Amino acid sequence: MAAIAYPDRNFKYWLISPAIFLLLLIGLFPLIFSLVVSFMRVTMLETDTSFAGLLNFIQLFHDARLWQSLAHTALVIVIALPIELLLGLAMAYLFLDRMPGRQILISLLVLPTIISPIVAGATWRLLFDNRYGPINQIIGWFAGYPVAALWTVNPRLVYPAIIFCEIWQWTPFMFLILLAALSNVDRSLTEAAEIDGARFWRSFRYIVLPAIWPVMSIAILIRGLDLFRIFDIIWALTAGGPGTMTETISVYAYVQGFRQFESSYTAAIAFLVIALLTVIVTFAIRRMGLAK
Amino acid sequence: MVNRRDFGKISLAAGLTAAIGRPAWAASAADAAVKAAQQYKGRSITIVWEAGLQSLDPTHFSGPKWKELTGMDVKVVEVATAEMFTKIMQDYKSGAGAYDALNVIPAWMPDLAQAGALEVLDPYVEKYGYAPELQTIAPTFRDNWMKVGGKIYGFPDDGDVFIMYYRRDLFEDTAVQKAFKDKTGKNLAVPKTWADFDVVGAGLTDILKDKGIYGASFFRQPPYAMYMFEERFRNEGGKFFAADTMKATINSDVGIKVFTGMRNENRFMPPGVEQFGFVENLAAFLQGQSAMTISWPPYGRWAEGYGTDQEALNWVPKTTIAGKVGYALPPGGHPELAAGFSLSISSTSKNKDAAYLFIQWLNSEDVSRQRVQLPYTLRDPFRDSHYADPGYLALWPNAKDYLAALKQASQTGLLDLSLLQTDKYEEVLRQAISKLWAGDDPKTILDAAAAEWDTITQKIGVDKQKAVYASWAANSGAYPKV
Amino acid sequence: MKTVPFHRRKETKLALRYLTAVSLVVIFAFPIYWLFAMSFKTPGEIFAFPPVWYPRSIQFNNYAVLFKDGDAKTVGNSLVLASVSTFFAMILGTIAAYSLVRFKTGGENLAVWIISQRMIPPVAIVFPVFLLYVWLGWVDTYIGLIILYTAFSLPYVIWMMRGYIEDIPLELEESALIDGCSRWEVLWKVVFPMARAGLFATAVFTFVFSWNDFLFALVLTRTEVATYTVQVTHYFGGQSNFWSKIAAMSVLGTIPVFVTVATLQRYLVRGISMGAVKG
């Protein structure tokens, strides 16, 4: 887009400075502070503010639990994100055309996204409860005999439980965004393609997908970043257990920073995370051409 | 069974009983505190308290009463249990000084004291003459929950201890006794050792399963099961560390035996017991689903329906077993004094003296007696006088057995492990337990846990931790007296 | 005319779509229903086996208790914090986005930096912010959290509003200038109204993200400004679980947001597509 030349050169700075100021205050200052702390030895027991060099960062590389937590996080993202995307897309198609009560149904569908994630996790915990929750009861109806599935304890069930809860809460978010995108696609194009005999998939791939890609890519990026930071649901369902099996990077950082007050080490972890994310996001943004 | 009344009436009744019970000439610590606090009329102090049920005490009873007597405003800062340590430490480390008085779990005291977050209370005890009434706190709490390194940092205020609750009606049922004798060749009796427990539990489940009753149920969620492990491990003779080398010894044969036992017992407990928390276990027991369980004192009160008609306790499932419950020490005879609370003062408080007077008053003979009898209280008896209090004894027919069990427990009880950075060690235990329920092999789990403990100890400094451990182990309640 | 087979008929397709749609809604709304039902159940019903699917009677006692004990005030706090911060974030963010779009202020680098602020995990910055706030005296105050939420929402607002502003034809602004409007007037009279749909769409999600925040509220509040998310965690005790309060509080905390979303929902669908398509 062409920039406009205005006589008063300062107008544009006035516009942006309050936002920049707040971002610096809340965004930059804590980061610098954390960086400084990560070079010290601040723990629960001592507040040694002398320069400790790269001590904490070296420890990062030797910390198996940290890398495991990153692997767990990656696992969650790789499984949940595609499902949310595809399910959201399918649902968007479903609600694309008119149907009775469409507005109400859509409003109801949004509900999972707006309740607090902590409450969502806690509710699902009760739903999954073997004795007092309806899920095992329902499974038992289908199976024909009482089923005792321990969703928050059985190592084979914990990830399904977490991912199920996560998908339940956030697919509606994707759904809404994609619904809007789809409803903007020029209908005459797809109809013309249909008349010409194009199958659904060809039409989707060459007409619809390019049209909704800008929206979809932003949605994927936002969702991906949020999944990276997933905390509340896991904390409520398993607290990272069994053992550290479902511990993601946020859970690990929380335990280190808030339970055990390893302030310096947590700061180092935070920087590792930010560095990683910066690389990934910058790459993604430029590749998807979002900053132009 | 207590009839439906509101908070005020019960508190008033309890208060009157206490007032009548006290000899008029005694200059009690409560009076002394009130008198000295007159100079702080109009001041406002904050106290950190566990959110939820626990907080009803200061918000509905003790806070308003203190204000009435002294004109001091008490602001209760409710904090979720899981966040209490964090908030206290953060407040201290940031120098915010927003908290005056604190509720502190005794296992945290070494860390908080070492960090400098707690005020030393000896000068205040001296100044206001509180020593005599400190003496009359039940020995185990008094000798183990008050001091760190010889200095007083907190007043024990909640007699948390594990008690075994069992269904007397089932144990005394002749048909059940006969079936048990036939099946196992032994007489049905409340188990005194864990070996007995396994036999009794499995036997009862076999006999009563058709009626939907299991031999026992426990809260198996890691935060709770951790305490049960600490208790059982020591009852069976285990030691946490080798005192000279500070190497962890939780993976000894005893540890493996305990873990294996715990896992095997789940088989005769209700399905899904691995997920049981405090409330799920409570529901199971109150609904008559299990014949034995181990838990904190509130179970006993609520099983008899004391206080459960209160609005604050309307989340407690209705009891179907009132009058049928018996009380005993857990197998091994040395119950865990799990968690508990002491009252402390923050070292960065700006109202130390005033806050101190409040906690002295709360903790005193007179006031604590009333507080532990509040129907909605979670504060359990912790003074010798509580166990013999006529008001308490009258609360339900079997209250005398209940109080006797509590008293016995307080005399034989075991301290929670408490070192520097206790939470790190506890976290390892919690994770070990969750791995146990996930099906891993006990030896593998415990070996890994012991290795992690050693790593933590090394990071903190072996000599440093050794000294703290030695001082903890010297407590009467650290290990069962052989 | 050839008879269309049954499975191809428009009505059948509609019926199938409708059935699937309703089933989906049932599945997604089920946990919410469960929560809602729990807020009316007695503890006997909550801990009943087999699980009870609907409460025997609808009694508002659980809700009444929340109001009586003052817990419901936290919903009010959340409402104040989220709405005020959303308001400021929308204004400051939109004018910042305008600056980025129309003047390319700071070039691509500034834009990328702003967007990248959204990836900072709260756990990384909450303790330094706490220390800063202790120094400023902003802990447990409305202003402290409002400023924090505003700042934290800015990247998202700027990001989304960039797209919507790009949609506004330049000619409209130019003709307004020619008509004698000052640059600020152009903003208020042309840009904001034209981007109205985008404003609503972005505002809703910004509101929701602030409304549901837990970590910042946990660390930065004590008693005065506690939000509903923190309050709910008070009901999970070591020796208690106030399920009815948890459920009732959650419902109370969800109603304002649900009502807002339901009323503004039509803007939502239209708004997102218009703005985001341009990236």
Q: Do C54 and C71 have their domain in common?
A: no
Q: How does residue B300 score in pLDDT terms, banded at 50, 70 and 90? A: very high
Q: Testing the interface with A: which of B81, B91, B429, B437 to mutate, by most A Cβ within 10 A? A: B437
- Picking from A110, A214, A278, the nearest residue to C277 by CB comes out as A214
Q: Inspect the interface and report whether the beta carbons of A180 and C35 lie closer than 8 Å.
A: no
**List of chain A residues whose C-beta atoms are within 8 Å of the C-beta of residue B107:** none
Q: Tell whether B52 is within 8 A of chain C (Cβ).
A: yes
- Picking from A91, A97, A127, the nearest residue to C24 by CB comes out as A91
Asked if the structure places residue C20 within a domain, the reply is yes
- Picking from A1, A29, A34, the nearest residue to C166 by CB comes out as A1
Q: Do C58 and C81 have their domain in common?
A: no
pLDDT digits (tens, 9 = 90+) for C216-227: 998 899 888 989
Q: Which residue has the tokens 């050169």?
A: A9
Let me know: does C253 contact C75? Beta carbons within 8 Å. Answer: yes
Which of A58-72, B153-167, C228-242 is least confident? C228-242
Task: Give all chains having 3 or more CB-to-CB distances under 8 Å with chain A.
Answer: B, C
Asked if the structure places residue C49 within a domain, the reply is yes
Q: Which of C62, C86, C109 is the last residue of a domain?
A: C62
pLDDT digits (tens, 9 = 90+) for A240-249: 878 888 999 9
Smallest CA–CA distance, residue B251 to chain C, in Å, is 28
> Is pLDDT of A104 > 60?
yes
> Is pLDDT of B25 > 50?
no
> Is pLDDT of B452 > 50?
yes
Q: Which residue has the tokens 């009690």?
A: B28
Mean pLDDT across chain A: 83
Q: What is the CA radius of gyration of chain A?
A: 24
Question: Rounded to 5 degrees, what angle do the CA atoms C169, C171, C175 make?
Answer: 140
Smallest CA–CA distance, residue A173 to chain B, in Å, is 30
pLDDT digits (tens, 9 = 90+) for B48-63: 999 988 999 999 999 9
Mean pLDDT across chain B: 90
Strand B341-345 relative to strand B101-104: parallel, antiparallel, unpaired? antiparallel
pLDDT at A1: 41
Q: Do C33 and C123 have their domain in common?
A: no
Give me the number of domains chain C comprises: 2
Smallest CA–CA distance, residue B424 to chain A, in Å, is 7
Complex ipTM value:
0.81
Smallest CA–CA distance, residue B31 to chain A, in Å, is 39
Strand B73-79 relative to strand B44-50: parallel, antiparallel, unpaired? parallel
Asked if the structure places residue C1 within a domain, the reply is no
Strand B336-337 relative to strand B414-415: parallel, antiparallel, unpaired? parallel
Q: Inspect the interface and report whether the beta carbons of C228 and A116 lie closer than 8 Å.
A: yes
pLDDT digits (tens, 9 = 90+) for A262-277: 888 888 888 888 888 8
Find, in chain B, the residue whose alpha carbon is nearest to that of A157. Answer: B438
Taken in order of first residue, the domains within chain B and their CATH numbers are: 7-159+339-406 (3.40.190.10)
pLDDT at C278: 37
Strand B101-104 relative to strand B73-79: parallel, antiparallel, unpaired? unpaired
Treating both helix axes as pointing N-terminal to C-terminal, what angle do C122-136 and A29-38 enclose, rounded to 10 degrees? 100
Q: How far apart are CA C86 and CA B457, in angstroms?
A: 48
Asked if the structure places residue C140 within a domain, the reply is yes
Q: How does residue B403 score in pLDDT terms, banded at 50, 70 and 90? A: very high
Q: Do C16 and C122 have their domain in common?
A: no
Q: Inspect the interface and report whether the beta carbons of B315 and C130 lie closer than 8 Å.
A: no
Which of A252-261, B36-45, B66-75 is least confident? A252-261
**List of chain B residues whose C-beta atoms are within 8 Å of the C-beta of residue A243:** 431-432, 434-435, 438, 440
Q: Which residues contact B307 (CB under 8 A, 6 or more apart)?
A: B2, B301, B313, B374, B375, B376, B377
Q: Inspect the interface and report whether the beta carbons of B438 and A155 lie closer than 8 Å.
A: yes
Q: Do C36 and C147 have their domain in common?
A: no
pLDDT digits (tens, 9 = 90+) for B124-148: 999 999 999 999 999 889 988 999 8
Q: Do C135 and C266 have their domain in common?
A: yes
Q: How does residue C177 score in pLDDT terms, banded at 50, 70 and 90? A: confident
Q: Tell whether C19 is within 8 A of chain A (Cβ).
A: no
Q: Do C133 and C261 have their domain in common?
A: yes
Q: How far apart are CA B62 and CA A143, in angstroms?
A: 54
Which of B185-194, B239-248, B417-426, C65-74 is least confident? C65-74
Q: Do C169 and C246 have their domain in common?
A: yes
Q: How does residue C265 score in pLDDT terms, banded at 50, 70 and 90? A: low
Give B 104-133 residues with CB within 8 A of chain C.
none
Q: Measure the N-to-C terminal CA separation of chain C; round to a whole number of Å.
A: 47
For chains B and C, CB pairs below 8 A equal 84
pLDDT at C178: 87
Q: Tell whether C68 is within 8 A of chain B (Cβ).
A: no
Q: Tell whether C56 is within 8 A of chain B (Cβ).
A: no
- Fold type of domain A64-288: MetI-like fold (1.10.3720)
Q: Do C149 and C249 have their domain in common?
A: yes
Nearest to C202 by CA among C134, C270, C131, C115: C270
Q: Testing the interface with C: which of A111, A254, A285 to mutate, by most C Cβ within 10 A? A: A111
Q: How far apart are CA C273 and CA C9, in angstroms?
A: 31
Q: Do C250 and C162 have their domain in common?
A: yes
For chains A and B, CB pairs below 8 A equal 69
Query: Which sequence spans correspond to the domains of chain A?
Result: 64-288
Q: Tell whether B314 is within 8 A of chain C (Cβ).
A: yes
Q: Inspect the interface and report whether the beta carbons of B280 and A153 lie closer than 8 Å.
A: no
Q: Inspect the interface and report whether the beta carbons of B283 and A243 lie closer than 8 Å.
A: no
Q: Inspect the interface and report whether the beta carbons of B272 and A130 lie closer than 8 Å.
A: yes
User: What is this structure's pTM?
Assistant: 0.85
pLDDT digits (tens, 9 = 90+) for C93-138: 999 988 888 888 887 788 878 877 877 778 778 888 888 898 889 9
Across B392-414, b (16+ Cβ under 10 Å) vs e yields beebbebbeebbebbbbbbebbb
- Which residue range is the domain that position C239 belongs to? 65-276
pLDDT digits (tens, 9 = 90+) for A216-246: 877 888 888 889 888 888 888 888 878 888 9
pLDDT digits (tens, 9 = 90+) for C20-58: 889 999 999 999 999 889 888 877 788 887 888 888 888
> Is pLDDT of B19 > 70?
no
Q: Tell whether C65 is within 8 A of chain B (Cβ).
A: yes
Q: Do C49 and C180 have their domain in common?
A: no
Find, in chain A, the residue whose alpha carbon is nearest to that of B274. Answer: A153
Average pLDDT of C1-24? Answer: 77
Asked if the structure places residue C78 within a domain, the reply is yes
Let me know: does A40 contact A49? Beta carbons within 8 Å. Answer: yes
CATH of the domain at C226: 1.10.3720.10
**List of chain C residues whose C-beta atoms are within 8 Å of the C-beta of residue A23:** 114, 117, 151, 154-155
> Is pLDDT of C214 > 70?
yes
> Is pLDDT of B5 > 70?
no
Average pLDDT of C254-263? Answer: 79
> Is pLDDT of A133 > 90?
no
Asked if the structure places residue C251 within a domain, the reply is yes
Nearest to B259 by CA among B453, B425, B417, B432: B432
Q: Tell whether C139 is within 8 A of chain B (Cβ).
A: yes
Q: How does residue B17 score in pLDDT terms, banded at 50, 70 and 90? A: very low
Please indicate whether residue B178 or residue A181 has the higher confidence score (pLDDT). B178
Q: Which of C14, C43, C62 is the last residue of a domain?
A: C62
Q: Do C48 and C161 have their domain in common?
A: no
Residue B192, CA distances (Å) to B189, B199, B232, B396, C233 in order: 9, 11, 12, 26, 39
- Highest mean pLDDT among A186-200, B139-153, C169-183 belongs to B139-153
Task: Give all chains having 3 or more CB-to-CB distances under 8 Å with chain C.
Answer: A, B
Which of B331-345, B347-361, C155-169 is least confident? C155-169
pLDDT digits (tens, 9 = 90+) for B147-166: 988 899 999 999 999 999 99
Smallest CA–CA distance, residue A186 to chain C, in Å, is 12
Smallest CA–CA distance, residue C149 to chain A, in Å, is 9
Query: Is the alpha carbon torsion for A116, A117, A118, A124 positive or negative?
Result: positive
